[in-house]
Amino acid sequence: MTQIKNASQGSGLTTLPNDPKRFGQLIFGGIFLMAFIGYYSMARGMPPGSLESPGPGMFPTWVGLGGIVISLIVIVESLLNKGESGEIGFPKGHDLKVALIFTATLVGYILVLPYLGMMASSVLYAITFLRFGSTTSWPRSIIVGGLIGAILTLFFSSVLGLPLPRGVVF
Amino acid sequence: MGTIEGFLYGLELALTPEYILAAFVGALAGTIIGILPGLGPVAGAALLLPLTFAYEPTIGMIMIASIYIATQFGGSMTSVLLNIPGDAQSVAATFDGYPMMQKGRGGAALTIMMLGAFISGIIGLIFLLLVVPLAGGIAIAFGPAEFFALTAGGLIVLARISGGSLGGGLLPMIIGVALATVGIEDSRSYSRYTFGNLDLSLGVSLAAVAVGLYGLSELVFMLTSDRQKTGPIKLRARELLPTKREFRDALPAWLRGSPIGFGFGVIPGPAAALSTFASYRIEQSVSRNRKKFGTGAVEGLAGPEAANSSATIGSIVPVLMLGLPFSATLALMLSAMQVQGIQPGPLLSEQHPDIFWAVIASVLVANVILLLTNLPLIGMWIKLLQTPTKYMVPFIIILAMIGAYSIASNFIDIYVVLAAGVLGYFLRILGFSPASLLVGLVLGPMIEKYFVQGMVTYQGDLAMMFTASGISIGIWAVVILALFAGLAAPLWRRLRGNTADERIEIPEDIKEEVKK
């Protein structure tokens, strides 16, 4: 990977499969090319109006076309090695484990939020993250996590009067 | 109402207890989010903005302006104390601020920064008062074609400057503009890209996207990097006082940095960041201590920080007078104004003189509050900086969820936070700029509005949208230059046969920070 270069240096020595950032940009460009083709197709189904009186479909049609062209530019740049280049700093080992726990607890939090309400789900989330996302013991996780979740929720709902979702318990 | 008269009227309003309290809360909250590890100014401001909606417009606006000024300042504190810039404009503060910290002059560096921010804030405010009548006059001469050029062209220039390659800069921008078309279209109440989901009718919330894009993705980076391992920071009270020589070196740098910053601030683009680098370069060339630069030169910190503070104030001009934001935080500020039912623009000072002048005067009040509170609270800020990541993460996530839900009391905004977090993570690891996505999301509806207005006005003549006046032709010429100058640069270098690079040496991790 020593041949990986910066965008501005442009010697074209690195092949695409050996350059994670370029490869990632190629995939990213491809995904958004598909997305913008879908976006454009939907825009074509909206009333376009006329140039004198544009309808709701006209602007999205232009944006869709622009998106397709720009996605193609990203793809071409990654193929021709004109864009960013180098390693991707994906987490590995312990960092990967922490990132996965972070994601899993966050998704869990969001999923239970409509059912348990803000207070209970926040407390549950803070305890779970502290226990599994760090080396905090169960008793400490319960005390600290419980306090973080409860105090924040109570402050915003009771002191500032923000309407927060209520669940089956709270 | 004349400028001086208006400012005095605003000052009278801003000095009422409830408005001082609003400025104080905003300044305090802004400093906290500016220095909080894992919560940059954009994500922090996005978290706090929904909370300002609960108050009357003037209080909300004063809080927003104070948050904006204080976050920029808070970001620079981490540059000096930890060598971690809070945002792009704080990068220059690491060059000499952190070496000062290593030499045991960290306290003096912070005082120089705070005094500089105050002095340049005042100078910036004077410039602001001078510019307001001019900007108003220019803005009134603008028609749909000129506003279209300014919004669409400005966005393209911003995207081009923020991103590395042509496609890399423009892709996040067009994603932002596309997201802005989701929801009910204004003129004919036509539902676009809602897939039959009523919750999407209101569109994609900017604050939710900002929290996800910056906040969530930053937390993942924070959890998986060495940033969480912050060593102990020791600052003694007597170290806070600069020496006579340090003060003497700082004073001219403050005075040079302030106009530079303001000048950059009013220009569309990543003004504050550019102004700090420009100021650093100027200080490097005019200073008596140029050999000390990079090793703890006072001018290397004082100049860029004064420019940063002044640019922050200068960048409020295009938002208030034209309704055009050219940074992620300003985009949030504009969005908050619109939620409050205020449409910034040339008529703002006529239609809402109380809000307009109170906000401008509150900039002065916020600067005074920052100066008075930050030095005595320095110990608390340092403690906050050292909060273990494991406690910060649930705190920030719960705050994000409360903030996102309170935007419209709707779960859709929480799902948007999650989706934007995933998108933000991949954008950042692949080297794209999330800022242009956010600005695209705010400017998208304006671009469409001016496009439609222009087409109706010019009876469908598309060419007129680009050539209606010298202003629009000039703006589009700048856009073309910005788009394709990058392609011409290698050719120009080859023709000159000059590969020598005299740029300031910036470490790789700092370059990443600038890109954010």
Cβ burial, residue A140 (10 Å; 0-12/13-18/19+): middle
- pLDDT per residue over B249-285, tens digit each? 999 999 999 999 888 887 765 567 778 888 998 998 8
Instruction: Check B223 against A160: CB less than 8 A apart.
Output: no
Is A49 in a helix, a strand, or coil?
strand
Q: Rounded to 5 degrees, what are φ and ψ at A165?
A: -65, 135
DSSP A166: B
pLDDT at B488 over 90: no
Residues 365-384 of B with CB under 8 A from A: none
Highest mean pLDDT among B22-31, B158-167, B168-177, B202-211: B168-177
Minimal Cα–Cα distance from A9 to chain B, Å? 10
- pLDDT per residue over B96-148, tens digit each? 988 988 888 888 898 898 888 889 888 888 888 888 777 666 767 788 898 89
pTM for the full predicted model: 0.80
Q: Rounded to 5 degrees, what are φ and ψ at A49?
A: 70, -160
Q: Please count the other Cβ atoms lying within 10 Å of the Cβ belonging to residue B487.
A: 10
Helices then strands, each counted (H, E), chain A: 4, 0
Highest mean pLDDT among A136-145, B26-35, B147-156: A136-145
* CA–CA gap between residue B105 and residue B239 (Å, rounded): 7
Q: What is the mean pLDDT of residues A73-99?
A: 84
Query: B479 falls in which pLDDT band (50, 70, 90)?
Result: confident
pLDDT at B47 over 90: no
Q: Give rounded-to-5 percent helix, strand, coil for chain A.
A: 65, 0, 30
Minimal Cα–Cα distance from A14 to chain B, Å? 17
Instruction: Check B455 against A160: CB less than 8 A apart.
Output: no
What pLDDT does residue B46 have? 75
The nearest alpha carbon in chain B to A148 belongs to B395
The answer, for B181 touching chain A at a CB cutoff of 8 Å, is: yes
Residues 389-418 of B with CB under 8 A from A: 390-391, 393-395, 397-399, 401-402, 405-406, 409, 411, 414-415, 418
- The answer to whether B68 and B333 are in contact (CB under 8 A) is yes
* CA–CA gap between residue B454 and residue A52 (Å, rounded): 9
Give the amino acid at B492: W
What pLDDT does residue B288 have? 82
pLDDT at B385 over 80: no
Torsion sign, CA atoms A68, A70, A74, A76: positive
Q: Please count the other Cβ atoms lying within 10 Å of the Cβ belonging to residue A100.
A: 12
* CA–CA gap between residue A76 and residue B168 (Å, rounded): 11
Q: Please count the other Cβ atoms lying within 10 Å of the Cβ belonging to residue A159.
A: 8
pLDDT at B292 over 80: yes
Q: Please count the other Cβ atoms lying within 10 Å of the Cβ belonging to residue B386.
A: 14
The nearest alpha carbon in chain B to A151 belongs to B395
Instruction: Check B430 against A28: CB less than 8 A apart.
Output: yes
What pLDDT does residue A11 have? 43
- pLDDT per residue over B414-442, tens digit each? 999 999 999 999 998 888 888 889 889 98
Task: Give the alpha-carbon dihedral of B70, B71, B74, B75, to 10 degrees.
Answer: -150
The nearest alpha carbon in chain B to A76 belongs to B167
- pLDDT per residue over B177-232, tens digit each? 999 999 998 778 899 999 988 889 888 988 888 888 888 887 888 888 755 455 55
Tokens 């004198």 belong to which residue?
A52
* CA–CA gap between residue B339 and residue B341 (Å, rounded): 5
Torsion sign, CA atoms B31, B35, B41, B43: negative
Residues 422-481 of B with CB under 8 A from A: 426, 429-432, 444, 447-448, 451-452, 455-456, 459-462
Instruction: Check B168 against A25: CB less than 8 A apart.
Output: yes
The nearest alpha carbon in chain A to B451 belongs to A59
Q: How far is CA B52 from the centre of its chain?
A: 18
The total number of residues written for chain B in this structure? 516
- The answer to whether B395 and A148 are in contact (CB under 8 A) is yes
What pLDDT does residue B398 have? 92
Query: B504 falls in which pLDDT band (50, 70, 90)?
Result: very low
- pLDDT per residue over A116-150, tens digit each? 999 999 999 999 999 998 888 999 999 999 999 99
Minimal Cα–Cα distance from A70 to chain B, Å? 6
- pLDDT per residue over B57-82, tens digit each? 788 778 878 887 888 777 788 778 87
The nearest alpha carbon in chain B to A74 belongs to B167
The nearest alpha carbon in chain B to A140 belongs to B391
Angular region, B57: left φ>0, alpha ψ -120 to 50, beta rest = alpha
Chain A interface test: which of B47, B148, B156, B171 (most A C-beta within 10 Å): B171
Instruction: Check B394 against A67: CB less than 8 A apart.
Output: no
What pLDDT does residue B150 have? 84
Name every chain B residue with its beta carbon within 8 A of the beta carbon of A74.
Answer: 167-168, 171
DSSP B150: I
Q: What is the mean pLDDT of residues B140-163?
A: 82
* CA–CA gap between residue B89 and residue B69 (Å, rounded): 12
Q: What is the mean pLDDT of residues B290-305?
A: 88
Task: Give the alpha-carbon dihedral of B306, B310, B315, B318, to 10 degrees.
Answer: -150
Residues 209-238 of B with CB under 8 A from A: 216, 219-220, 223-224
pLDDT at B508 over 80: no
